[in-house]
Homo-oligomer: A and B are copies of this chain.
Amino acid sequence: MFEKYYSRRIQKTPSSFIREILKVIQNPEIISFAGGLPNPISFPQEELKISLERITSVYQDKIYQYSTTQGLDSLREYIVQRYKKIWNMDITIDNVIITTGSQQALDLLGKVFINENDSIMVEKPSYLGLLQAFCSYEASFVQTKLDDEGLDIDDLKRTLKEHKPKLAYLIPNFQNPTGITYSYQNRKDIFEAIKDEDMLLIQDDPYGELRFSEDERIPYIGLNQTDKNIYLGSFSKIVTPGMRLGYIIAHKEIIRMVETAKQAADLHSNIFGQYLISDYLWNNDLDKHIEKIKKLYKEQSGAMVEAMKEYFPNSVKFTIPKGGMFTWATLEEGKSSLELFDKAIKRNVAFVPGDPFYVNEHNVNTLRLNYTNATREKIQEGIKRLSEAMKEE
């Protein structure tokens, strides 16, 4: 009844498909691989309790008062130190702004950079929260194909030439939804292809810390070689998502512009949560905590890969994740994962059909599977049921 009042942009913005699915699968009989929730093991509850006691007694009313838009200095300083140590980045706290989760980082970057019909390059498939956020700024998306190594370089070059995107958004590590990790060579090839373009590059990295192997980390695309890189990070997958704390690292001129956008968006992020997480980070060994999460996810991922190898029809391909929370299956050409979804639900197993991760394609043959919230037994049983649904004609 209020149609005539709504803005163009909101009428174009899809409501989250995944959240709709989550409503369908309330039935506790269902084994769900549909969600994207971190395992509660990733919340250091005992240590956070100690930090809670400390911040209430040390900072008193400061933890309850209004605060600055850029975020708590000590939290930004922790981020600076960590990125200096790991990546040798030459940054100060002026290159960092705290956001209300990484989702807000996407919203603010959309607000700062996107005019209607601006050409924005994303992966194919891409993170659906990004599609939602940028859709609400009426972006014109172009999707560049992913393969096992990362971006398809030919497709990338064609995209750059034909569409001259203003902005690109990539998740190089353990991508959501595909679980793919860009190889070192692929990252170098991408940087070669884009370095002379008039394009900013956003690299979102919520899962980067959740690397299963002991190999070295693979550097970001164009790391320390350009001012046009924007890095996103988050505490959601390694400490807690409930506090809604993420961050942007970028040239300080960009950070200042994002700060103006953030003033208008929510003044500042929850300062209580910032004190809490900052206190936790400075007083605990984060890497030791991350080891615990990785150990569990690696086991769960292994169990899922094992079960997929055992049960899936040979025609179905899937990612073997090197980290993160997801794998991605591709059915035979012409099959529909939406149809599979209905059959799977009848067998009490759920996943996310690939459709919402694409801009212009429907009835795709791909699907996302999350493994971080099920036991080995549930994973095995769920994949078995899903395989039966796949084999049903």
Interface residues of A (CB under 8 A from B): 1-2, 4-10, 13-16, 19, 37-38, 40, 43, 45, 48-49, 52, 56, 60-61, 63-67, 69, 100-101, 103-104, 106-107, 111-115, 129, 132-133, 135-137, 166-167, 198, 200, 227, 236, 240-244, 251, 253-254, 257, 259-261, 263-273
Contact (Cβ within 8 A) A2 B253: yes
Q: List chain B residues, Cβ under 8 A from A242.
A: 63-67, 270-272
Contact (Cβ within 8 A) B66 A241: yes
Contact (Cβ within 8 A) B264 A133: yes
With contact pairs A7-B113, A264-B103 given, residues A52 and B45 touching in the complex (Cβ less than 8 Å)? no
**A301-B338 Cα distance, complex, nearest whole Å:** 63
Contact (Cβ within 8 A) B257 A6: yes
**A253-B2 Cα distance, complex, nearest whole Å:** 8
Closest Cβ of chain B: how far from A152's Cβ, in Å? 25
Q: List chain B residues, Cβ under 8 A from A9.
A: 111, 115
Q: List chain B residues, Cβ under 8 A from A240.
A: 64-65, 272
Partner of A45, one of B64, B101, B132, B243: B64
Closest Cβ of chain B: how far from A131's Cβ, in Å? 9
**A132-B271 Cα distance, complex, nearest whole Å:** 22
Q: Which of A52, A137, A200, A264 has the most CB of B within 10 A?
A: A264
Q: List chain B residues, Cβ under 8 A from A133.
A: 264-265
Contact (Cβ within 8 A) B10 A266: no
Contact (Cβ within 8 A) A100 B251: no
**A66-B52 Cα distance, complex, nearest whole Å:** 20
Q: Which of A115, A133, A267 has the most CB of B within 10 A?
A: A267
Sample of 26 A–B contacts (CB below 8 Å): A1-B227, A2-B253, A5-B113, A7-B112, A7-B115, A7-B137, A8-B115, A10-B113, A15-B263, A16-B263, A37-B66, A38-B66, A40-B64, A40-B65, A48-B64, A66-B236, A66-B242, A100-B100, A106-B264, A136-B265, A242-B270, A243-B270, A243-B272, A244-B267, A244-B269, A265-B265
Closest to A61 in B: B40
Q: List chain B residues, Cβ under 8 A from A269.
A: 100, 244
Q: Which of A43, A137, A257 has the most CB of B within 10 A?
A: A257
Closest to A167 in B: B5
Closest Cβ of chain B: how far from A107's Cβ, in Å? 5
Contact (Cβ within 8 A) A15 B259: yes
Contact (Cβ within 8 A) A267 B61: no
Contact (Cβ within 8 A) A43 B65: yes
**A365-B230 Cα distance, complex, nearest whole Å:** 43
Contact (Cβ within 8 A) A64 B241: yes
Closest Cβ of chain B: how far from A154's Cβ, in Å? 26
Partner of A264, one of B114, B132, B253: B132
